[in-house]
Protein backbone atom coordinates (compact mmCIF):
# COMPACT_ATOMS: atom_id res chain seq x y z
CA UNK A 1 0.00 0.00 0.00
CA UNK A 2 1.28 3.48 -0.87
CA UNK A 3 1.21 6.44 1.52
CA UNK A 4 1.42 10.18 0.99
CA UNK A 5 4.40 12.14 2.28
CA UNK A 6 2.09 13.80 4.82
CA UNK A 7 0.92 10.44 6.15
CA UNK A 8 4.48 9.16 6.53
CA UNK A 9 5.50 12.37 8.29
CA UNK A 10 2.58 11.98 10.70
CA UNK A 11 3.53 8.39 11.46
CA UNK A 12 7.34 8.61 11.63
CA UNK A 13 8.17 12.35 11.93
CA UNK A 14 11.89 12.15 11.17
CA UNK A 15 13.95 10.79 8.21
CA UNK A 16 10.76 9.28 6.85
CA UNK A 17 12.51 7.79 3.81
CA UNK A 18 14.34 5.37 6.10
CA UNK A 19 12.05 4.95 9.13
CA UNK A 20 8.96 4.27 7.01
CA UNK A 21 10.64 1.15 5.60
CA UNK A 22 9.27 -0.55 8.71
CA UNK A 23 5.94 -0.65 6.88
CA UNK A 24 7.44 -3.18 4.44
CA UNK A 25 7.39 -5.80 7.21
CA UNK A 26 4.51 -4.52 9.34
CA UNK A 27 2.01 -4.62 6.47
CA UNK A 28 2.70 -8.32 5.94
CA UNK A 29 1.61 -9.07 9.51
CA UNK A 30 -1.24 -6.60 9.93
CA UNK A 31 -4.59 -8.41 9.85
CA UNK A 32 -7.67 -6.91 8.22
CA UNK A 33 -9.78 -7.99 11.22
CA UNK A 34 -10.02 -5.50 14.07
CA UNK A 35 -7.17 -5.88 16.57
CA UNK A 36 -6.64 -4.59 20.10
CA UNK A 37 -3.41 -2.58 20.06
CA UNK A 38 -1.07 -0.69 22.38
CA UNK A 39 1.28 2.08 21.31
CA UNK A 40 4.25 2.60 23.67
CA UNK A 41 6.20 5.85 24.11
CA UNK A 42 3.93 7.53 21.62
CA UNK A 43 4.75 11.20 22.21
CA UNK A 44 2.90 12.80 19.27
CA UNK A 45 0.91 9.60 18.62
CA UNK A 46 1.95 8.83 15.05
CA UNK A 47 1.98 5.04 15.23
CA UNK A 48 -1.29 4.93 17.16
CA UNK A 49 -2.81 6.98 14.35
CA UNK A 50 -1.41 4.55 11.76
CA UNK A 51 -3.18 1.61 13.41
CA UNK A 52 -6.39 3.55 14.13
CA UNK A 53 -6.71 4.63 10.49
CA UNK A 54 -6.49 0.93 9.61
CA UNK A 55 -9.57 0.38 11.79
CA UNK A 56 -7.89 -1.10 14.86
CA UNK A 57 -8.59 -0.15 18.48
CA UNK A 58 -5.52 1.52 19.97
CA UNK A 59 -4.44 2.52 23.47
CA UNK A 60 -1.98 5.36 22.91
CA UNK A 61 0.44 5.53 25.83
CA UNK A 62 3.41 7.49 27.05
CA UNK A 63 5.19 7.76 30.35
CA UNK A 64 2.89 10.63 31.39
CA UNK A 65 0.22 12.90 29.87
CA UNK A 66 -0.12 10.97 26.59
CA UNK A 67 -3.00 13.19 25.45
CA UNK A 68 -0.97 16.38 25.72
CA UNK A 69 0.83 16.04 22.39
CA UNK A 70 -0.96 13.13 20.70
CA UNK A 71 -4.40 14.73 20.64
CA UNK A 72 -3.06 17.55 18.45
CA UNK A 73 -2.38 15.10 15.64
CA UNK A 74 -5.30 12.78 16.34
CA UNK A 75 -7.74 15.67 16.31
CA UNK A 76 -7.06 16.13 12.60
CA UNK A 77 -8.49 12.66 11.96
CA UNK A 78 -11.85 12.51 13.82
CA UNK A 79 -12.94 9.20 12.28
CA UNK A 80 -9.71 7.46 13.31
CA UNK A 81 -9.49 9.18 16.70
CA UNK A 82 -12.70 7.40 17.76
CA UNK A 83 -10.59 4.24 17.86
CA UNK A 84 -7.96 5.75 20.19
CA UNK A 85 -7.85 5.89 23.99
CA UNK A 86 -5.02 7.16 26.20
CA UNK A 87 -3.09 5.83 29.18
CA UNK A 88 0.06 6.74 31.11
CA UNK A 89 2.21 3.59 31.00
CA UNK A 90 5.81 2.90 31.93
CA UNK A 91 7.25 0.55 29.31
CA UNK A 92 9.11 -1.39 32.00
CA UNK A 93 5.94 -1.96 34.04
CA UNK A 94 3.00 -2.57 31.69
CA UNK A 95 -0.12 -3.31 33.79
CA UNK A 96 -1.64 -5.84 31.36
CA UNK A 97 -1.29 -9.57 30.74
CA UNK A 98 -2.37 -11.41 27.55
CA UNK A 99 -4.31 -8.31 26.51
CA UNK A 100 -3.13 -7.08 23.10
CA UNK A 101 -2.98 -8.45 19.57
CA UNK A 102 -0.40 -5.83 18.55
CA UNK A 103 2.04 -3.66 20.47
CA UNK A 104 3.95 -1.02 18.53
CA UNK A 105 6.82 1.36 19.30
CA UNK A 106 9.37 3.61 17.64
CA UNK A 107 12.67 4.72 19.19
CA UNK A 108 11.83 3.85 22.80
CA UNK A 109 14.50 1.34 23.82
CA UNK A 110 17.29 3.92 23.77
CA UNK A 111 15.57 6.12 26.33
CA UNK A 112 14.57 3.19 28.53
CA UNK A 113 18.21 2.10 28.59
CA UNK A 114 19.64 5.51 29.52
CA UNK A 115 23.04 5.47 31.22
CA UNK A 116 23.90 2.03 29.83
CA UNK A 117 21.00 0.18 31.45
CA UNK A 118 20.67 -2.89 29.24
CA UNK A 119 18.70 -4.66 31.99
CA UNK A 120 15.92 -2.05 31.67
CA UNK A 121 15.75 -2.68 27.92
CA UNK A 122 15.46 -6.42 28.54
CA UNK A 123 12.74 -5.77 31.12
CA UNK A 124 10.78 -3.67 28.62
CA UNK A 125 10.76 -6.55 26.11
CA UNK A 126 9.68 -9.01 28.81
CA UNK A 127 6.82 -6.69 29.78
CA UNK A 128 5.72 -6.41 26.16
CA UNK A 129 5.82 -10.19 25.82
CA UNK A 130 3.62 -10.52 28.94
CA UNK A 131 1.10 -7.98 27.66
CA UNK A 132 0.67 -9.65 24.26
CA UNK A 133 -1.84 -12.40 23.64
CA UNK A 134 -0.51 -15.77 22.48
CA UNK A 135 0.36 -15.30 18.82
CA UNK A 136 0.37 -11.51 19.27
CA UNK A 137 2.81 -9.31 17.38
CA UNK A 138 5.28 -6.62 18.40
CA UNK A 139 5.88 -4.06 15.65
CA UNK A 140 9.12 -2.20 16.31
CA UNK A 141 11.49 0.29 14.71
CA UNK A 142 14.48 1.44 16.75
CA UNK A 143 17.81 3.27 16.62
CA UNK A 144 20.89 1.09 16.32
CA UNK A 145 24.40 2.00 17.39
CA UNK A 146 25.35 2.43 13.73
CA UNK A 147 28.88 3.06 12.53
CA UNK A 148 31.66 5.19 13.99
CA UNK A 149 30.33 8.20 12.10
CA UNK A 150 26.95 7.99 13.84
CA UNK A 151 28.53 7.45 17.26
CA UNK A 152 30.80 10.49 16.88
CA UNK A 153 28.09 12.83 15.58
CA UNK A 154 25.58 11.78 18.24
CA UNK A 155 28.03 12.64 21.00
CA UNK A 156 28.76 16.00 19.43
CA UNK A 157 25.36 17.16 18.20
CA UNK A 158 22.60 15.16 19.99
CA UNK A 159 21.93 16.55 23.46
CA UNK A 160 20.97 13.12 24.83
CA UNK A 161 23.60 11.29 22.77
CA UNK A 162 25.84 10.58 25.76
CA UNK A 163 23.12 9.04 27.96
CA UNK A 164 20.93 7.32 25.35
CA UNK A 165 21.67 3.59 25.04
CA UNK A 166 21.64 2.72 21.36
CA UNK A 167 20.98 -0.96 20.73
CA UNK A 168 23.72 -3.14 19.23
CA UNK A 169 22.81 -5.52 16.44
CA UNK A 170 24.53 -8.29 18.40
CA UNK A 171 22.05 -7.76 21.27
CA UNK A 172 18.89 -8.47 19.28
CA UNK A 173 18.76 -12.21 19.95
CA UNK A 174 19.10 -11.64 23.70
CA UNK A 175 16.50 -8.87 23.79
CA UNK A 176 13.92 -10.93 21.91
CA UNK A 177 14.78 -14.33 23.36
CA UNK A 178 11.28 -14.97 24.76
CA UNK A 179 9.55 -14.53 21.41
CA UNK A 180 9.00 -17.57 19.21
CA UNK A 181 9.93 -15.70 16.03
CA UNK A 182 11.61 -12.41 15.14
CA UNK A 183 11.79 -11.01 11.61
CA UNK A 184 13.86 -7.86 11.11
CA UNK A 185 15.88 -5.78 8.67
CA UNK A 186 18.26 -2.86 9.00
CA UNK A 187 18.57 0.33 6.96
CA UNK A 188 19.74 3.93 6.95
CA UNK A 189 23.16 5.51 6.92
CA UNK A 190 23.23 9.03 5.49
CA UNK A 191 19.64 9.91 6.42
CA UNK A 192 20.62 10.50 10.04
CA UNK A 193 23.02 13.25 8.99
CA UNK A 194 20.51 15.68 7.46
CA UNK A 195 19.82 18.88 9.39
CA UNK A 196 16.53 19.72 7.63
CA UNK A 197 13.61 17.61 6.36
CA UNK A 198 14.64 18.24 2.76
CA UNK A 199 18.20 17.17 3.46
CA UNK A 200 17.08 14.00 5.27
CA UNK A 201 14.65 13.21 2.44
CA UNK A 202 17.42 13.54 -0.14
CA UNK A 203 19.96 11.55 1.87
CA UNK A 204 17.36 8.89 2.67
CA UNK A 205 16.80 8.35 -1.05
CA UNK A 206 20.54 7.83 -1.48
CA UNK A 207 20.44 5.29 1.34
CA UNK A 208 17.67 3.38 -0.44
CA UNK A 209 19.48 3.35 -3.77
CA UNK A 210 23.06 2.80 -2.58
CA UNK A 211 23.96 2.53 1.11
CA UNK A 212 21.31 0.03 2.27
CA UNK A 213 22.93 -2.41 -0.16
CA UNK A 214 26.60 -1.45 0.20
CA UNK A 215 26.91 -0.88 3.93
CA UNK A 216 27.10 -3.75 6.42
CA UNK A 217 24.01 -4.04 8.68
CA UNK A 218 26.33 -3.10 11.56
CA UNK A 219 26.80 0.31 9.92
CA UNK A 220 23.06 0.99 9.56
CA UNK A 221 21.37 3.12 12.21
CA UNK A 222 17.82 1.68 12.12
CA UNK A 223 16.40 -1.76 12.83
CA UNK A 224 12.75 -2.60 12.16
CA UNK A 225 10.66 -5.73 12.29
CA UNK A 226 8.01 -7.92 13.89
CA UNK A 227 8.36 -10.25 16.88
CA UNK A 228 5.70 -12.92 17.45
CA UNK A 229 4.76 -14.32 20.87
Angle separating helix axes 46-53 and 5-12, nearest 10 degrees: 130
Q: Does domain 5-228 have CATH number 1.10.1060.10?
A: no
Is it the case that residue 193 has pLDDT exceeding 80? no
Q: Where are the domains of the chain?
A: 5-228
pLDDT digits (tens, 9 = 90+) for 104-130: 999 999 999 999 999 999 999 999 999
- pLDDT for the residue 211: 81
User: Of the ranges 6-15, 148-157, 183-192, which one carries the lowest mean pLDDT score?
Assistant: 148-157
Query: Which residues, 6+ apart, have CB-to-CB distance to 154 below 8 Å?
Result: 161, 164, 166
Is it the case that residue 161 has pLDDT exceeding 60? no
226: β partners: 139, 183
Amino acid sequence: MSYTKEQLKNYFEWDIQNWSKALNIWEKHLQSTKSNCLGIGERSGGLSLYLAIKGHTVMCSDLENPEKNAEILHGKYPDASKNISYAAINATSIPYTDAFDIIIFKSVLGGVGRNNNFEAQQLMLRQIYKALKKGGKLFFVENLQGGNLHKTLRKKFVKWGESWRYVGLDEIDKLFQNFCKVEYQTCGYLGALGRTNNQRNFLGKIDTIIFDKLKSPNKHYIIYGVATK
